[in-house]
Structure 1
Amino acid sequence: MTTLVVFDIEAVPDLGVGRRLLGQPEDAPDADVRRMLGERYGRDGQDPSTVFLKTPVYRIVSIAALYAKRDEGAARGL
């Protein structure tokens, strides 16, 4: 029997945390906050609006798992 386990986590930048880290007001536009986070925490030479940020600046929005078993003796050719 073969067993497969797959995990997937989806996360997005936590702009509320970003506002607090950057000292921005709550009504600061999301796009501006995202760009400023990228400028401060992103790697040099990357677009600050799309760069992958450090993990603590993200919030998890979805966690999924797949658990599958394959019986080696089952019919083949399907």
Structure 2
Amino acid sequence: GVDAEGVLFLAEYVAVTRRFRGTVPGLRSGGSIAGYVGSLVITNERVLGTLSSVPKLAGRTIDHRFDAAQTGAVKAELSRTGLTL
């Protein structure tokens, strides 16, 4: 579990608002807003986040190890001063 990785930060029941407008494969939207509840864990090894779209059922939204290659539009850096995205 994440306890063995050294938990640096844990937040549960975080209110998350997702806003989407545009086109991605399989979805076209003029604008939508949805609310979720999520959790975020930062350990010495990775960042793990979940979003619950169905009550009592959370799916992983992010599970990224800090030593893994960073690909995509978002870059992350964890330092003594905090998490920078």
Q: Which has the higher strand share?
A: 2
- Output the TM-score relative to the length of structure 2: 0.22
Q: Which has the higher helix share?
A: 1
- Output the TM-score relative to the length of structure 1: 0.23
